[in-house]
Structure 1
Amino acid sequence: MFSNRIFTLLILLLSFSNHTFSIESTNASLLEALSIAKKTTSSGSEKINKTNLIKQIKLIGNTHTDSNTILQQLTLKVGDPINPYKLRQNVKSIQSLGIFKEVKSNVEKSTNGSILTFKVSENPIVSKIEFLGNSIFDKDTLHALLNSKINEPLNLNDIRIDIQRIQNLYLDAGYIQSKVLKVDTPNSDQSPIKFHIAEGYIEDIQITGNIKTKNYVILREIDIEPGMAIQKSSLQETIAKISNLGYFSQVYPEFLPGKTPNTYILKFQLEEKENQGSLSFGGGFSPKSGVSIFSDLMWENLAGTGRSIMLKGNFGISTDSSTNRRSTYIFKYNDPWALGKRRSFMLNTWLTDGKMGAFNPYMGNLSSQNERRFGIESGIGWPLSYEFYTKHNLKYESVTLPDKEIYYN
């Protein structure tokens, strides 16, 4: 029995020894396979990286454009890997130069690297530059502003700069509605660049909001006329002249599209003042001076015509003969455009009746007597400019002394 047990133990040891050897053999085979796979992968990776690397950059189609101008736009260089995103960005960067109609890219791969080719199609050569619609500035003045040059390729970036410079020229001169409508770019070397300019002309003038004031009273203050280009300084002067009439609290200009393309209707929206005149009435009494009654009427913009009248009356009754008593009546009329453009006519008449007192410093006494004065005055105003004018008046007055002087010591 003992020998049988020993035999069984020997069999188990031999079986365990064989199994262990099998495991070790298997591990060695796996390590060898991994090493071979690693070498194979490493070799394939080297081939892929080399294929994607840029070995050369070529330019095609740039007849008039220097190659360095294009190459300076590129971020991809020889030795860089091909990157689709960066490739698209480089195409856009070349297009941003503004001198090409079309830009295409092509990648030609080989085992020893890739050839990156940019094919460009250049814009036409500028043979002539024309301006249409300009009358305020001549073509020589406009030509001097341009970046675009004759006998050079069309550059869209220069066109954008040219448009801005032309519009700034008009704007700086006060032509606030002027603009470059469009630019016709050449399709071939024989076609010109055409700048279409709208200088902003007035087709018509309209007025709203003037309930009392007649239209002609306002229009005669406006020096702007249909057919004129809209200029900021002229518009400001016109607003000031309408405001100086004194009939309106607000003056709003507005530009509406005209029937003719690129023209405008200049519309003035007005807010008219409610009161354009005044009436005052009163009186008083004192034991020494007596009774006094007065009434004043001032009417500006008579019936909306721009004329004005003034009526003034002062009636007095004294309580005794030694007190001055006087009544005065005045009428005044003015028409600022009676004789033509801002040539005014004025008429003034007055009547004074009553006792007038005067102190004589040499005699040391006070004299008093009744007198009647009637006068009339007329005048014309002649403008030298809007701000300055001359007045020429003619005056007549009649004085009547019905009584002798009375002296009071």
Structure 2
Amino acid sequence: MEGLLLRGRHSSGGCCEGISPFQEGRKKGGGHLCLLKKLEEGRVGREAVKGSIVVFFLLVFSVCLLFGGFVDARAQSPQLLVKAIEIQGNKRVDKETILFKLKSKEGEPFSVSKVREDVKSLYETGYFEDVEVDAEPFEGGVKLVYKVEERPLVARVLVKGNKKIKTKDITKELKKFPLSIYNENIVKENVRKIMQMYQAKGYYDVRVDVERKERRGRIVLTYRIREGRKAHVAKIEFVGNKHFSDRTLRGQMLTKEKNLWSMVTIFVGYFLGKPSTYYYIPDLLKLDLMKVREFYRDHGFLRVAVGDPQVSVKDSGKIYIKVPIEEGPRYKVANVDLRLGTDDPFKSEDIKKLLGLKSGEWYGAATMRQDVNNLTELYGSKGYVNADVRPLVEIDDEDHTVRVTYRIEKGAKYYVGKIEVQGNVKTRDKVIRRELGLAEGDVMNTLALKAAKERLSRLGYFSQVDIETKPGEDHFEDILVNVEEQPTGSLMFGGGYSTQEAFGAMVQLQEKNLFGRGQSVSLSGNFSGKRAEYDLSFFDPYILDRPLSLGVRTHHLTYEFDTFDEESLGFTITLGKRIWNWYTTASIGYEFQSVDISGVDDDAPEFIHDQRGRSVSSAVILGLSQDTRNSTVLPTRGFQRRVSLKVAGLGGDEYYYKVIADAGWFFSINKLIKNSVFHVRGRMGFINPLPVGDGSDRPVYERFFVGGDDTVRGFDEDEASPERDGQAIGGTKELIVNVEYLFPLVGGLRGLVFYDTGAAFDNGDQISLSGLRHAVGVGIRFITPFGPLKLDLGYKLDRKKGEDSTKVHFSVGTVF
């Protein structure tokens, strides 16, 4: 029996010349059917694809011959299977690589369409100059033979004509040829890369020609560069803009005009990870004009048209860009509506309160996109993780209004399936799981997972935290928490100089994740010519795996004041519990202190003489705190608020109450400088005697001493406090305000500018703005290989006689 033919060519016509598709005919020696499949014309580079598909296909008459009679093919013939696949002609590309690209597989039904896709797929690899496929009868099925002709090898790649950019710098950027096989697409991509390199340096009319010399199947490829002239952008002008100035529109672009200010901003932007340029780069300019168009659309100009820029070059090497703009009308929001599905868990009026788009306001595409994100998160918080939120926009070009309808299909409700934790070597699983706020079987909550990621990041145990969900069983989503641990032990050193204490030093040894249990322990010391202070503390956020925290602290202090000496020893025990939400903690504690006032000079203030000797303070402390900061080291958003009440009089010698309120906010200010942060903090406190006891003055060790790196920088530790006879005695009231602006410099280095104001006030003095001390300054923050570094330089704005005008505050540490 002879094979029967089905032949199709990878070109515009068939190769069964003279035979129409589905035309029946006869060949000598047996029946056959020639089926012509027209395939699309292909082209690689500038050469026409010569590939063809030659298919020997056994159809109706072959089945008849096999079974000795003619029967209805549709009723009797089985579907032919691919019994074998053979690869021929490959020399460098291995067989497995080719087989992987094929959709036709051994044991599967034969398909002409699959063979056609196989040819296309093999051409797209870039390895082959020509591909043919033969099909022939084989073991009651079909054997496919793929005949390939590999493209030539690239023997050498040369770069010629370059003077302004070194050859090694160019070749480093060029994409390599896989298996050294020539590929026209890679050549085109490399030409673009070379042009972009030159354009980034101001060579706007650079040209790159490709020369290809082939001999014995090997190619020497040469990129010949004509560098052209260098020029910079001197002027960017917009024509037709009425609502926004040229300066505002240029602010949306990375292409800048060359002037002194742009040179500074480009230099700073380079280190801030926000590159811009005053050179003409066509691809970058296209992106800039897209940003201008989006800027207009975000402000309601839905029909804005940003035309092709007119670029002219002067002999002086200056480029002038003129951009035509047709702003069109500005559109307002006529109505915002909701289209909810059945049994929706939310009410329309409640959802509308959350929307940024409001009727009567200017339409903004960015606001609408944010609404979609917010609504998606809202439904995700109720388990509808696949909620489909689609804005339907109706534009009325006559009234210049927009009607927006948010169509919400909540989809199925999902629950928490398995929770898996990966990447933790030291930290125990339970430490991570308890921060999730979700357990197996709970309703899935995407907002809770987002908050959990922030909480895990704030712990300081991990350098990377990723939380993903993946489909589990029916209506269940599994949670995968992947963490990358970082050192949690730290050894911190600090130092400074003050007129009061001369040189001082601080050392702190801390472990924030003791034995991987999430507990912290810290030992610190503070030393100077007048001070010796030791502090040991322990904190467990979950006692016996319950949502109840325990803190224990003990301290010892000796301090030589000018007119007396103080020695104190004490401890504090605090219990805390989260209330209301994950970031609010209520606490109650007990504090015991034994203080000895000795060495009192004759000229010391009278109230110091009254406190001579040893006294005991026994106090209860109530506290309420909130902390939503996204990091405890360098936060960029969130707040930290705390209020505490200490009441002494549970036995002991002291009877007083002390109130402190402390609040700080962090705001990300990306519009000014990307990744910059504005931080404002305010503190107020007072101490008063209880209406029991002898009503004596407040103990000196509980008074407020203002000044130093944690209160008002630029001042010594007690320099902004009341004095008597030239001796700082502290105050019974305090008010402190700190304002900072932090911004990235280079890598992880951050700079800051600050303004601090504050003071302590004594008995009989009211807190007043006129009594505050003021300082401004600059500083840096950096996480070094040796630990966090903090350096501030403060300058007094109201320096008094005998005071230093500046003060340096410095600390650095190491982690382990």
TM-score, normalising length from structure 2?
0.23
TM-score when normalising by structure 1: 0.43
Bigger radius of gyration, 1 or 2?
Answer: 1
Which structure's relative contact order is higher, taking Cα pairs within 8 Å and 6+ residues apart?
A: 1
